[in-house]
Structures are given as C-alpha cells and as structure tokens.
Structure 1
Amino acid sequence: MDPLDATSSVPRWVGPTALTVLGATLAATHGYHLWSESAASAASFFGSGVPMLLALAVAGGGPLLYRSRLDTAALTTTVVWGYIGGFVLGCISLLIAAHQALKGNPLHESAYMVATTVTGGALVGTVTGRFDALNRQKADLISSLQEATTALSTATTTDEVSHRAVEIANDVLQIPLTGIWLYDERADALAPAAVTEPALEAFDEPPTYRPGEGLSWDAFESGRVERYDDLSTEDSRHNPETVIRSEIIVPLGETGVMNFGSTEPSRFDDLDETVAELLGTATEAALVRADREEVLRTQRRLLRRQNERLEEFTSVVSHDLRNPLSVARGRTELAREDRTDAETHLDAATAALDDMESLIQDLLALAKQGQTVGETERVSAEAIAGDAWRNLGTIGATFEIEEFELDADPDRLRQLLENLFGNAAVHADDEPAVRLGPLPDGAGFFVEDDGPGIDLDARDRIFDIGYTDHEDGTGFGLSIVRRIADAHGWSVRATESGSGGARFEFRFDGTGAESST
C-alpha cells in the first residue's frame, strides 16, 4: 500500500491530531499497566515505563509535525506511515499471541505486549514516514523549481531575468523576502535589481552594497554560498538594526548576488540551501545570456544606425556636394571664355567652393556626433552654455539660464547648445531671447526662444539631414543636435515655448518621441 494513497485535501491539523490521539492512547495504556503493577521494579519500568515514554514521543510528534514546514500532503503521509507501522507490528504480535494460545501456552499479559509492539511500530513508522515525506517533498520541490526556471530562458533582458527569479523564490520556494543585487562596474557596488513584493512592503528602499560593506559583498568576493541562522550574532552585517534573522546568500558569479531572508532565526535548512543554490545557478546562466543578447542587440542597433548614416552621407555627397561643384566648374569655364567679366565668375566659383567647405565641415561634425559617448562627467549647465553663447557671438540677443548640473560630454554638449543658439539667432533676426533650464520633473532640460516658432507640419522633419527653411542653411544643425542627444542616450522633442517660439526638450531617460506635433 502506498501511503500517498491515503493523502487527500484534508485540513492540516487532522493528521497531527490523529497521531497525538494514537500516542496518547498508547501512553495511557502503558501508564495504566505501570500503575497496576503491584510493586515497582526494573522489569516493570522496562516493560511499561519505556513503552510509555515511546508512546509520549509519538503523541508529541503531532504538534511538532504541525509546526514543521512539511506541506499538508507530506504531513499526512508521515502520519499514515505511523499508523501503518503500528498496525503491522500490532497484527504480527496478535498472531504470535494467538498462536501461543492455540498451543495451550498463552503469553503473559498479551494485551500489553500487543500495545508495546504497536507503540514501537507507530514510532518507527512515523520516523520512516517523515524521512519518506521529506524525500518526496524535496523531489517535488526540485521538480517544480526546474519547471519554473524554464521561464528564465525566455527572458530577454537582465531586468526581466531578475524579476522572474525573485518571483520563483516567492512562489515556488516559499521564501518571500528575496532580492537580487547586480554588480555595477562604474560604481564598483552591488546595486538592487529586483526584490519580491513582500520585501518591498516589509522594508524601505533596498540598500546598495559597496566593497567591504556587509555579508553580501563578502559572499560576492569569495564566490561561496553562505547561510546564517542568526544574523544578530554577525558583526559584519550591513544593517545592525535589520529585522532579518536568518539568510542565505548565493553569489551569481561576476554578475552579483541573490539573497534569501527570513525574520525567523534558523529558518533555513540544508534543503533550502540546496534549492536556493540551484535557483542561483539558473539565474546566473540566464543573466549572462541576457546580457550577451543585450550587447548583440546594441551592436545590431548601432550597425543599423551606421548604415542609415552611410546612406545619408551618400545622399549628401551625391546630391548636395554635386550642385556647388557644378557651379564652380561652370563659372570657371565662363571665366576663361569671358575675360572681361572673369572676376565675377571667379567670385561665384569661390562662393560655391565655400559652400562645399561648409557642407564638408558639417558632414564631419555629423559623423563625429553620431559616435556613442564614452565617459561623461558632472558639468555645470551655466558654464557650458556660457561658453557656447560666447563662441556664437550673438550681438543684441539676450540669454537667460536657470543653473543646474547634468552628466554629459562637455564638448559635445557645447556643440549641441551652439547649434540651438545659432538656430534661434537665424530665425529671430539675430536678436532672440533664449532661455535654458531644467525640466520641471528634473529628468532633462530645455532650450527655448521667443522667435517665430516651428510650424506644426515641420516638427517631424526638422531633425532630418538636409532639412532647412532658411536660404543660407545647410540642413545639418538640428541633425547634429539629435545625434548628440542620441549619443548621450537622451530623447529630443520639438514643441512650442510659452511665447510662441521654438522649444526643444531633452529627456535623460530617452523616453518620448524625437519630435512632436
């Protein structure tokens, strides 16, 4: 008979109560036998006292099982094993007693002998059942974990992998206080990447672990899984006031660590450590794969942009440079034929060559701004904007700035502002009122003027290469602005200022359209 056949969707308390009743009944039987003995002796103690203690152990097993971490099915299986053990040994002892009676040699106090064998069988069955239930629960848990971790293979980003992993810890491993910290090479720290919902509700903002700060950093450096039964005794804990009492820290290779915590001391056992390490191994592999895929996606995106820019440059070289070149060639030939007006023709040829030089300089600038920004630094917007304004030399214009700081490449940011200021000067007859400041939510900045503004139907085209609404424009100024923004990971949006002029909004998170109507 498979004890699992006896398990069903019964309340959790039924099994432990049944075991306690069995043990108490047997203990009462042995107690009565011991009390009814005419005189206390070693024989009576071993014959009734020891079985009574064993029966009390069976009775005490009920509450212990109820408070254990066995699930209801495993708990019921353990109790069923206890009953089966007592029943089997009891039947054997009854057969022996009946056999002796039939032979005319009945056993002395056969009823108490049967009670003693039932007690021993119940105790052995309970211990065996618990061992069997633990093994079954372990196998089921590992199987469920393997099934759940397949979801990690479909995650495409490190953020998605991290959130799925902590959900598995909460839902499958039943460890609600779980989080993942990933190593940030630039900050040289372990930064929180994902924590479970219960952890978010129970604690404030997750900490950042820096070199030498806390047990998590120690585990990350050593690469060893660590289990702590009582954090209050650990001097190296990150937060001396933490309510976490027990914790398992699983290093994720060079990517970070995964922490499993509980407010109860000695909450975790060897099985918890094993499954936590298994989940950590699967998470590490998924994080490495997702990071590699993100790098490949970035490379493909950069390659696609480079191809698009190559096509743009090809278009400019084949069209925009060909026109002034044709003018210069034609005027030179006319100068040879018409000596009397040669100077006029040569001036026109020189002007065409100057246009070509401007186009070539803008193309080179555009190619440079398309490159990704490497290292940035914290800069003062007022200082960079002041340099850009002085370089532009806009006479009669007014400039207002609300001071703020941002992370940027100073030279690239200066070029961006020079182009925007120059654009304002061109469209406002060299006397614009230009204003620069942070966005209200602090997630970016804006540049605006009081000029004629940008037509609604042109706002989705102003950043295109070659687009210009001014006869002296090359169509590269705002294209360069967009490229510099892209290189920093910013988005740029063209809209209208409060005075009806042009307003350009840059967002650091890269969200939003590049232009807006």
Structure 2
Amino acid sequence: MRSVPIVDRVTDAFFALDTGFRFTYLNERAETLLKRSREDLIGRVMWDEFPQTVETQFPDGFHRAMDEQVPVSFEIYHTHLETWFEARAYPSQNGLSVYMRDVTERRAQETTVAQHAAVVEAIRDAVITLDRNREIVAINGATETLLGADRSTLDGEHVETLTELAGIDDQHAVDIGRAITDVDVGNADRRQLELPYTGPDGDDRMGEFRFVPIEDDTATVAAVVRDITDQHEYDRVVTSLHEITRWLLESDDPEEICAISVHAGSDLLDLPISGVWLLEEEQGYLEPVAGTAGAHDEFGGLPRFNPGEGLVWDVFEAGEVERFDDLETVGELYNPDTPLRSEIIAPIGTHGVLMTGALDPNRFDETDVDLISTLVENTRAALDRADRERVLRDRTAELERQTERLEAVADVLSTDLKDQLTAVADALEDDTADEWEFPLAEDTVETTLDRAEGLVDDVREFARNASAIGPRSRLRLESAITDAVGESRLDEDSIIVDGAAALRADPDRFVHLLETAFDSAVARADGDVTIQIGLVGFEDGGSRGFFLLDDAAEIPPNAHERVLDPTRDDDTAIDGLGLALVRAIAEAHDWECTVSNGANGGTRIEIRDVTTLERRLE
C-alpha cells in the first residue's frame, strides 16, 4: 500500500514556499482550495499565479515571517469562495510552511455572539448569565448600574453575591433559587417574580426577575432584571385613585368633592401646589373652592379667573388637558411674575378646572398627565352625580312645596273668594239702594270682580312652580319697573324711583315679581297709592338689593310671615297670594325677601342678596 505523506492527512490546506515565494509543495486540500494542481503550481511564484492576493494580507504577513523569521497568523476572506480562512505561516531557512483553515462557521458564531453581546449590553434591563453551579458567567452594563458594582468583581461569584448586594431578604433569595432550579432542570420554560430590592443609593426599589434557559458553552440560565419601581408606583396610584373615586362618589357636596380631589393629588401624585376652580354660573367666572396648603403658602390664596383671563380660562374653554413644561416660554400669563415654572391644567368637564404647578421646569411627564386625567375624570363623575342628586332633592322639595301650596291655595281660595263673591251677591241684591246709589254699587261689583280675577291669577301662578326661572340676563331696573307698571293695575305716575341700577335676572319672572308687588299695594289701598323704589346695601355695607315702600294700608306685623308663606301653620288671615309669589320668585333667584312696616305707615318689601346689582350713573 502506498504511504500518504503526513501533510496530506491533515484537514487543513497546506503548501510550502521557498525563499522566492515559489510553490514547493501542496497537499490535496490546498489543491482543492486553490483549484490548481501540484503540477501546475510547483516552481511557480505565488504572486504571479494568484495576483489577486497581492492586495491582501498575504504579502505583508509572508514577508514579515520570512524577514524576521517569526511565525505569523491572520484571518482573510476569500471572495470567490465566500469563505473565511485562518492563515498560519512558519518560517525556516528554506522558506515558509503555510497552513490555511476554514473558519467561516467560527466567524459566523463569533459574529452572532458579538451581536448578541452588543444587544445584551445595549438593553436597559440587567442581564446575568449563570452556569450550573449558580456562578456568574457574565453580566451587562445595566447590571452594574442596578447594583452599583463593577462586573470584574462579580464574574465567577455565586448568585448569592447578587442577592446580598441588592439587599434581597432571605425568603425572597430562596424564591430566586427555586426559580433558577426550575428553569435549569427543565421544570419550567421560564419563571417570573416581582420582588423588592435596594438600589445602589439605598432607596427601596421594585424589580421584575425573569429566569430563562439558554444554550451556551458555559451558561445554562439567564436572569433578566427590570426595574419596575415606576410602574409599580403607577399601579399603586391607579388603585388608590379608584379607592378615592369611591370617596368622591359618596359625597354630594361639590366643595367637599373638590377638596378630596385636591388632597388626593397632593398625597398620591406628589402635587403640593394644586387647586380646583368651579364655574360660578350666575357670575360667569371660575371661583377657587379648594387648594393645597402648598398653594396657599406660595400664593397666599388662589385667584378668581374671569372670562379670558390666563391659561386656566383658555384650557377650561378648550376642554383638553394641557401640560406646560416651561412657563417662561409661554405668553399671556395671568401673573407674568408667577414663581411657577411648569404646570398641568385639566378641565373637570363643564364644572371647572384642576391646576397643579411646580417651581421647576419640566417637572411633569405624560404619566403625570395620565394620572391627573384619571383624577379629574373621577372628580367630574362625582360632581355630575352631586348635580343629579341636588336636582333630585330640589325636585322632591319642590313637589313637597307644591303640595303645601295647593293646600294653602285651597284654604285661601275657599275663604277669600267666598268673601268676594258674597260681596258681589250682597251688592246685587240690595233692594234699598236708590238710583243715585246704583253707580256706587256697580263700581263695587266691578272692583270686587277685578279682585276675584286677580285672586284667580295669583292662585294659578302660585299653584304652578312659582320658583321656576329661565336664563338670566343683564337688566336695567328702571326698564323692568316700566314694563311691570304696564302689566299691573298701578298708574305710571304712582312710581318714584330713587336710583338707577342694573342686575342679572330672568327678565319675564323679574317683571312679574314687580307687577305682583305693585298689584298687592293697589289691592290694599282705598284709593290712590304711591310706591317708592330705592337701593339698599350700598351705603350701610349690608347685602345689596332694593326696596318697595307703599303708602297703602299696612300689613299687620303678625301677618308679615304669613303673607310671604301661606303654607305656615298659622291661622292669621291674609288677603291673597301676591306677596307669596314675590318671595317665591325672589328665592328662585337666590335672593332674600322680607316684609315690614314703613316708618310712616304702609308696607316695605325688601329684596336682598342681589349680588349682581350694580348702581348706574344717571
């Protein structure tokens, strides 16, 4: 059997060159690699036969090995073969012995490993690989940050070193050990735990620990640790917000609801400078109703926002939550000198707004916006519910008042109308009157019937919802008086108006209030009557309003309350329901109505708490 040279039995490609870089030998693997036979290449110069190698590492490497008589090795990519080779050249006095090995697969693995390592190094989660002895094979930079330790001090250490550095208690350390074992022996594809740990600065943190099996020459388990402190805190806050929602919905007081909302934001969301403003529907401005201690300490109280004033009003009108990262870059501030640098303003539906601010720029992020949006949405729902409850209570109370009014109407109607009709009957049946007395009798009948008709009108008005009012608008007091005189039985010359003023009220109902008061005075007068109308509260510092003072027959003091409220459990006789209507319409506007006797006789009606009343210059 022919013996095979040892160089032909090696798996690497091998060829020999003399000092002139001429081929002196090639094994079969080299022939295959170079795609040339020995006969073609023996005695020929490598650079002449393979000119494409001149621009590679071969010339420099081979010359260095020959000149310095030192072994050299390098890796080179063969373009035509799409193959990576490791070349090793060993010099001698007679030339070079060159070995070439296909390292394409190894290079691919190294590239993959390098890519994986780069990915692992780049991710923000801490990654630790462990061998079967629970010793650390490798960690990434995020692990160093998480633990505040250098990787060089951790390589080869037992996993217990990590749990000790992270301040994980013994029971949780046992849980980690069990999770690693389950994954390593194949009892589970993965294990996940959420455990508290201590950060490098000594602060309490929450981590998500995931354990998965890996296929590696040395490592068998990878642990991925993510800091979920912020997410955990977010979940805690959201859960607490849901609990606060229960408190909000248990209250039917808007101011209490707003106070709960503000203090929830302060305590849960760490928003020490916060406040809530609700729309004052009658006046049309945003009124502060609740604020944190920090807000009051910083500003000494919260301002009122009129239409068009500041960012608060703009956001309220727009209806969308807005975050301002740096107020120094925002124009049209309500207070250009505000110490606040950043703030979030969130509309509470159509009820008002919640505003929170900070003394530093860029204090808030989208998470804060989400949480505040949840808080104001829950607050809106609570205020909506409070409104519905208030409407229901008002309707129930109104039904009760209507029942009482109907009972009072029946009493007044049965007494007063009976008296009026009796007077008519007596006048018609008076056979003793001569022809000179008939005109007087006819006047008496006509007057009596007018009073009866007026009584029926009052009954109709009082029996329906006398306290219902429509939208309010700005009115001139003098114009309303003129309109009321035209609708009443009062002569225009009988009115004396002492001052010009304006107020906001339901135009129709306010005119009817005045008309009813005028007719009440006419009904109590034996002849002509004069009514003086003036303003109160501007000089004496009391609540603002106006008065009507007539010179008709005065109402007895013991009947003052009864004429305003015929539903009172009182046997005092009253004449008609006119002043009860005046009071009902006044109270529907949130005003106060009282009746007293004038200093020189007659009756004085005062309407107070008219907060929108303003004196006008003539």
TM-score (norm 2): 0.52
Q: What is the Cα deviation at residue 507 of structure 1? A: 2.0
Partner of 2:561: helix, strand, or coil? coil
2:455 and 2:576 in contact (8 A); partners too: no
In the other structure, the counterpart of 2:245 is 149
The answer on 1:298 being equivalent to 2:403 is: no
Matches within 5 A, 1:363-512: 363-365=456-458, 367-368=460-461, 370=466, 372-385=468-481, 392-393=490-491, 399=496, 401-409=498-506, 412-417=509-514, 420=517, 426=524, 434=532, 436-439=534-537, 440-448=541-549, 455-465=556-566, 474-495=575-596, 502-508=603-609
The answer on 1:249 being equivalent to 2:345 is: yes
1:485 and 1:491 in contact (8 A); partners too: yes
What is the letter of the counterpart of residue 346 of structure 2? Answer: V
Matches within 5 A, 1:112-261: 131=227, 133-182=229-278, 192-203=288-299, 205-208=302-305, 210=307, 214=311, 217-218=314-315, 221=318, 223=320, 225-235=321-331, 239-261=335-357
Q: What is the Cα deviation at residue 286 of structure 1? A: 0.7
What is the letter of the counterpart of residue 392 of structure 1? Answer: L
Partner of 1:392: helix, strand, or coil? coil
Q: What is the Cα deviation at residue 236 of structure 1? A: 6.6
2:272 and 2:292 in contact (8 A); partners too: yes
What is the letter of the counterpart of residue 499 of structure 2? Answer: E
- In structure 2, do the counterparts of structure 1 residues 419 and 436 end up closer, same or farther at CA, with 3 Å as the change threshold? farther
| 2-structure distance, mates of 1:392, 1:55 | 90
Q: What is the Cα deviation at residue 165 of structure 1? A: 1.5
2:288 and 2:302 in contact (8 A); partners too: no
| 1-structure distance, mates of 2:291, 2:240 | 21
In the other structure, the counterpart of 1:31 is none
Q: What is the Cα deviation at residue 256 of structure 1? A: 4.0
| 2-structure distance, mates of 1:373, 1:245 | 45
2:458 and 2:576 in contact (8 A); partners too: no
In the other structure, the counterpart of 2:377 is 281
Q: What is the Cα deviation at residue 169 of structure 1? A: 1.9
| 1-structure distance, mates of 2:369, 2:480 | 54
| 2-structure distance, mates of 1:162, 1:56 | 41
Pairs aligned (count) = 401
What is the letter of the counterpart of residue 305 of structure 2? Answer: T
Of all paired residues, the percent bearing the same amino acid is: 30
Larger RCO (CA under 8 A, 6+ residues apart): 1
| 2-structure distance, mates of 1:321, 1:86 | 91
**1:96-144 CA deviation, whole Å, 9 max, x = no partner?**
xxxxxxxxxxxxxxxxxxxxxxxxx985997965836545544443444
What is the letter of the counterpart of residue 490 of structure 1? Answer: W
Larger Rg: 2
- In structure 2, do the counterparts of structure 1 residues 428 and 447 end up closer, same or farther at CA, with 3 Å as the change threshold? farther
**1:326-353 CA deviation, whole Å, 9 max, x = no partner?**
5656776x68xx7998998998698457
| 1-structure distance, mates of 2:375, 2:492 | 63
**1:148-191 CA deviation, whole Å, 9 max, x = no partner?**
33221122143432233123223443312222344577888766
Q: What is the Cα deviation at residue 193 of structure 1? A: 4.8
Q: What is the Cα deviation at residue 485 of structure 1? A: 1.7
In the other structure, the counterpart of 1:362 is 455
More displaced, 236-245 or 211-220? 211-220
| 1-structure distance, mates of 2:295, 2:201 | 41
| 2-structure distance, mates of 1:502, 1:344 | 33
In the other structure, the counterpart of 1:100 is none
| 2-structure distance, mates of 1:340, 1:436 | 46
In the other structure, the counterpart of 1:272 is 368
The answer on 1:84 being equivalent to 2:167 is: yes
- In structure 2, do the counterparts of structure 1 residues 380 and 256 end up closer, same or farther at CA, with 3 Å as the change threshold? closer
- In structure 2, do the counterparts of structure 1 residues 307 and 350 end up closer, same or farther at CA, with 3 Å as the change threshold? farther
More displaced, 258-267 or 377-386? 377-386
- In structure 2, do the counterparts of structure 1 residues 139 and 402 end up closer, same or farther at CA, with 3 Å as the change threshold? same
TM-score (norm 1): 0.60
- In structure 2, do the counterparts of structure 1 residues 359 and 464 end up closer, same or farther at CA, with 3 Å as the change threshold? farther
The gaps in structure 2 that reach 5 residues or longer are 1-139, 150-162, 171-197, 208-226, 612-618
| 2-structure distance, mates of 1:167, 1:354 | 66
What is the letter of the counterpart of residue 260 of structure 2? Answer: R
Partner of 1:441: helix, strand, or coil? coil
Partner of 2:542: helix, strand, or coil? coil
Q: What is the Cα deviation at residue 287 of structure 1? A: 1.5
1:400 and 1:435 in contact (8 A); partners too: yes
- In structure 2, do the counterparts of structure 1 residues 190 and 416 end up closer, same or farther at CA, with 3 Å as the change threshold? closer
Q: What is the Cα deviation at residue 283 of structure 1? A: 0.7
| 2-structure distance, mates of 1:145, 1:170 | 12
- In structure 2, do the counterparts of structure 1 residues 330 and 346 end up closer, same or farther at CA, with 3 Å as the change threshold? farther
Q: What is the Cα deviation at residue 197 of structure 1? A: 4.3
| 1-structure distance, mates of 2:280, 2:552 | 45
- In structure 2, do the counterparts of structure 1 residues 148 and 125 end up closer, same or farther at CA, with 3 Å as the change threshold? same
| 1-structure distance, mates of 2:479, 2:201 | 82
- In structure 2, do the counterparts of structure 1 residues 387 and 273 end up closer, same or farther at CA, with 3 Å as the change threshold? closer
1:178 and 1:258 in contact (8 A); partners too: yes
| 1-structure distance, mates of 2:276, 2:373 | 13
In terms of fraction of residues, the more helix-rich structure is: 1
Q: What is the Cα deviation at residue 364 of structure 1? A: 1.4
Q: Say what the alpha-carbon RMSD is for the aligned residues.
A: 5.1
Partner of 2:363: helix, strand, or coil? coil
Partner of 2:500: helix, strand, or coil? coil
